[in-house]
């Protein structure tokens, strides 16, 4: 049984027996840790002058990517240095595991590329599972805890570095002006798809974006490391998008999921709604 499956077993046991005071204390400790990390991320973000995106900046992009950028409405909007967004949805830890409702906050630096994702699962109003995913300085780190006190997953390594870097590249769709930065390169494929590559810390990751006639982004696919038992294996990963809406003055994907494409069938493990996005806002940590 892998660590995430063990977490699914431990949840009902902890729900039945854990003291509310312990959960509250653990939540506060975890929140303080993440607050310090987010403050450091924002402090390290390179604050460029907020130049405005122009049509000419899109000229080097593959044609379907140009359609996407125009559809988002990014032309005429400022470039982005930092991002804060909120999510809600559901998550499960295995194909046979139950779904859990989650809320999450995510913080990004565009240059240097960095992210911190903070997720909370509550039972009876008590924060039961607290997790933090990060990518900074070319390094990924996944931490999942019970009540903020008991680490269930505390993963680092080259495979997680690649997976976290791939996650950052994938999520740049929520701040598309960043796709115009010098650390991004493009390879045209056809009228409805293009490859995008993120370069950082001497490393690179590449994914394929798929678009429709309007310029809406439909999907992102890439090989990504996935934990299987105690090992990491390269697996096809995708994030199909199902709905667009206005966030931060742009037309952006606001609903989607993440899927591992396994030999035995597709495993959708998360569904998320993006409820709010803010760009270039001074640091303020407000996770639950």
The pLDDT, as a whole number, for residue 138 is 96
CATH code: domain of residue 98: 2.50.20.10
The verdict on residue 284 lying in a domain is no
The verdict on residue 268 lying in a domain is yes
The pLDDT, as a whole number, for residue 90 is 95
Separation CA 59–CA 267 (nearest Å): 38
The pLDDT, as a whole number, for residue 6 is 46
The verdict on residue 171 lying in a domain is yes
The pLDDT, as a whole number, for residue 21 is 66
The verdict on residue 26 lying in a domain is yes
Separation CA 203–CA 107 (nearest Å): 22
The pLDDT, as a whole number, for residue 127 is 80
Instruction: State the total domains in the chain.
Output: 1
% of residues, the chain, pLDDT over 70: 90
| DSSP letter (8 states) at residue 58 | G
Phi, psi of 131 (to 5 degrees): -130, 155
Q: What is the pLDDT along the chain (288 residues), one digit of tens a residue?
A: 445 444 544 444 444 454 566 677 778 888 899 999 999 999 999 877 778 999 999 999 999 999 999 999 999 999 999 999 999 999 998 999 999 999 999 999 999 999 999 999 887 777 888 999 999 999 999 999 988 778 888 999 999 999 999 999 999 999 999 999 999 999 999 999 999 999 999 999 999 999 999 999 999 999 999 988 888 999 999 999 999 999 999 999 999 999 999 999 999 999 999 999 999 987 665 555
The pLDDT, as a whole number, for residue 26 is 78
Please state the separation of Cα 151 from the chain's center in Å. 21
Separation CA 65–CA 210 (nearest Å): 9
Please state the separation of Cα 38 from the chain's center in Å. 15
Joined tokens for residue 186:
């493009």
The verdict on residue 209 lying in a domain is yes
Please provide the DSSP assignment of 166-206 as one string: HHHHHHGGGSGGGGGSTTEEEEEEETTEEEEEEEETTEEEE
Element (H, E) at 256: strand 250-262
pLDDT in tens, 144-185: 998 877 888 899 999 999 999 999 999 999 999 999 999 999
CB 50 within 8 A of CB 81: yes
The pLDDT, as a whole number, for residue 207 is 98
Q: Please name the residue that has the structure tokens 């300085």.
A: 137
Per the structure, the complete domain to which residue 230 belongs is given by 3-46+61-279
CB 257 within 8 A of CB 270: yes
The verdict on residue 53 lying in a domain is no
The verdict on residue 285 lying in a domain is no
The verdict on residue 133 lying in a domain is yes
Separation CA 101–CA 125 (nearest Å): 12
Any residues with CB less than 8 A from the CB of 187 and at least 6 apart, and which? 62, 194, 195, 196, 197
């Amino acid at each position: 049984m892998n660590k995430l499956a063990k977490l699914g077993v431990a949840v009902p046991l902890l729900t039945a027996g854990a003291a509310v005071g312990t959960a509250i204390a653990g939540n506060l400790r975890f929140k303080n840790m993440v607050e310090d990390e987010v403050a450091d991320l924002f402090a390290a973000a390179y604050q460029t002058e907020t130049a405005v995106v122009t049509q000419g900046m899109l000229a080097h992009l593959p044609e379907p990517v140009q359609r996407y950028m125009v559809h988002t409405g990014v032309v005429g909007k400022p470039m982005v240095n930092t991002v804060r967004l909120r999510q809600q949805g559901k998550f499960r830890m295995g194909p046979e595991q139950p779904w859990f409702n989650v809320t999450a906050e995510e913080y990004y630096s565009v240059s240097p590329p960095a992210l911190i994702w903070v997720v909370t699962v509550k039972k009876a109003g008590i924060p039961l599972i607290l997790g933090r995913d990060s990518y900074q300085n070319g390094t990924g780190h996944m931490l999942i805890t019970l009540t903020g006190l008991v680490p269930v997953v505390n993963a680092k390594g080259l495979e997680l570095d690649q997976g976290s870097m791939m996650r950052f590249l994938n999520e740049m769709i929520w701040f598309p002006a960043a796709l115009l930065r010098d650390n991004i390169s493009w390879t045209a494929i056809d009228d409805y798809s293009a490859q995008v590559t993120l370069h950082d810390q001497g490393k690179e990751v590449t994914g394929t974006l798929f678009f429709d006639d309007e310029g809406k982004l439909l999907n992102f696919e890439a090989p990504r490391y996935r934990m299987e038992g105690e090992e990491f294996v390269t697996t096809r990963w995708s994030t199909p998008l199902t709905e667009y809406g206005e966030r931060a003055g742009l037309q952006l994907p606001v609903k989607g999921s993440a899927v591992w494409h396994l030999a035995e069938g597709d495993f959708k493990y998360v569904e998320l709604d993006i409820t709010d996005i803010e760009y270039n806002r001074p640091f303020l940590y407000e996770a639950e």
